[in-house]
Amino acid sequence: MAQEGLAKRLHGRRKGHALKARQGRLMEQLLPRIAVEVEQPAPARLADLFETAPDRLILEIGFGGGEHLAEGAASNPQTGFIGAEAFINGVAKLLSEVDTRELTNVRVHFGDAHDLLEWLPDACLDRADLLYLDPWRKRRHWKRRFISHETLAELARVIRPGGELRFASDWPDYLTWTLMHLRPRTDFAWTAQVADDWRKPWDGWTRTRYEAKAYREGRVPSYLTFTRT
Ligand X SMILES: C[S@@+](CC[C@H](N)C(=O)[O-])C[C@H]1O[C@@H](n2cnc3c(N)ncnc32)[C@H](O)[C@@H]1O
Catalogue the long-range contacts made by 28-33 (C-beta closer than 8 Å, 24 or more residues apart): 30/95, 30/98, 30/99, 31/91, 31/95, 31/108, 31/110
User: Which of 157, 181, 185, 209: binder of ligand X (CB under 6 A)?
Assistant: 209
Helix (H/G/I), strand (E/B), else coil: 50: coil
Is there a contact between 79 and 73 (Cβ–Cβ < 8 Å)? yes
Helix (H) or strand (E) holding 7: helix 2-9
Nearest CB to ligand X, comparing residues 12 and 162 = 12
**Minimum gap (Å) between residue 152 Cβ and ligand X:** 14
Nearest CB to ligand X, comparing residues 1 and 44 = 1
Q: List the end-to-end C-alpha distance of the chain, in Å, as a whole number.
A: 32
Nearest CB to ligand X, comparing residues 50 and 132 = 132
User: Which of 71, 99, 118, 134: binder of ligand X (CB under 6 A)?
Assistant: 134
**Phi/psi of residue 27, nearest 5 degrees:** -60, -35
**Minimum gap (Å) between residue 62 Cβ and ligand X:** 2
CA distance 67 to 84: 13
Query: Residues 70 to 99: which contact ligand X by CB under 6 A?
Result: 84-87, 90
**Minimum gap (Å) between residue 76 Cβ and ligand X:** 18
Site string for ligand X, 95-124 (x = CB under 6 A): -----------------xxx----------
Closest CA to 196 of 228, 224, 163: 224
**Minimum gap (Å) between residue 132 Cβ and ligand X:** 3
Q: Interface residues with ligand X (CB under 6 A)?
A: 10, 12, 62-64, 84-87, 90, 112-114, 131-134, 146, 208-211
